[in-house]
Copies of this chain bind each other. A is one copy, B any other.
Amino acid sequence: MEEVLDKETRRETCNSHLGALEDTLYAIGGKWKLKVISTMRDTGTTRFNELLRHIPGISAKVLSNELKELELNGLVMRTVYTETPVVIEYQLTEYSETLHNVLVSMIEWGRQHKARIRAERS
């Protein structure tokens, strides 16, 4: 009986974790979103074309789409200044700071993973 309960608890924990991972991956998963956020944090740029230059391999179409989705999830704020010519600025929201631990842990892991692969090869 205890074992059955234990199995159920573990299953519930597992499902809860899978649900949370799903929500995270839905909002910031894929190839580009974390890179866009990281680049905005590091360079402080607010301009589309600068972002485009900073992120190797991203296309204008994809960047535009990623920024829209980040905006929908409250991570990026888009401001249009109706001057001539119109100026559009993208800024990280305060909410995006909640991603700090995710970014740091992923950057740290990538670094040690690359070091590990290099050590294996030599």
Q: How large is the interface on A (under 10, 10 to 19, 20 to 34, 35 or more residues)?
A: 35 or more
A-side interface mostly: helix
State how many copies of this chain the complex holds: 2
Docked-complex contact B54 and A38, CB < 8 angstroms: no
Q: Mark A36-71, 1 if CB is under 8 A from B, else 0.
A: 001100111000000000111000000000000000
Docked-complex contact A29 and B31, CB < 8 angstroms: yes
Query: Which residues from 80 to 110 on chain A have a C-beta closer than 8 Å to any C-beta of chain B?
Result: 95, 98-99, 101-110
Tell whether A17 pairs with B42 under 8 Å between CB atoms, given A101-B105, A105-B102. yes
A-B contact pairs, 6 of them (CB 8 A): A14-B43, A18-B39, A18-B55, A22-B35, A25-B34, A27-B113
Q: Hey, which bits of chain A sit against chain B, CB under 8 A?
A: 10-11, 13-14, 17-25, 27-31, 34-35, 38-39, 42-44, 54-56, 73-74, 95, 98-99, 101-114, 116
